[in-house]
Amino acid sequence: MIKYLVLIAVIAAVIWFISKGARARAARRTQANARPVQDMVRCAHCGVFQPKTDSFEANGRYFCTREHERLH
């Protein structure tokens, strides 16, 4: 009877360690795939939000395209 209890405890411990490792790998994968946070700005002409790095700035205002910058 004791043999079976020990066997069940060992199997449970192995399953717990395996699942713990899988969760840790998934967390590392999620962190590696995360994109950095970027500042978002609104186009002064059409109101579309986009990353500041992709925008065009003129006179302190941001635009999504050069055409919108020209039209405003």
Q: What is the DSSP string of 1-66?
A: -HHHHHHHHHHHHHHHHHHHHHHHHHHHHHHHHPPPP--EEE-TTT--EEEGGGSEEETTEEESSH
Question: Do 70 and 44 share a structural domain?
Answer: yes
Residue-range definition of the domain harbouring residue 50: 38-72
Report pLDDT digits (tens) over 2-17. Answer: 888 999 999 999 999 8
Question: Do 43 and 21 share a structural domain?
Answer: no
Q: How far apart are CA 13 and CA 15, in angstroms?
A: 5
Q: The tokens of 15 are what?
A: 């399953």
Question: Do 14 and 42 share a structural domain?
Answer: no
72 sits in which H/E element: none
Question: Do 30 and 43 share a structural domain?
Answer: no
Report pLDDT digits (tens) over 3-62. Answer: 889 999 999 999 998 888 888 888 888 776 777 888 999 999 999 999 999 999 999 999
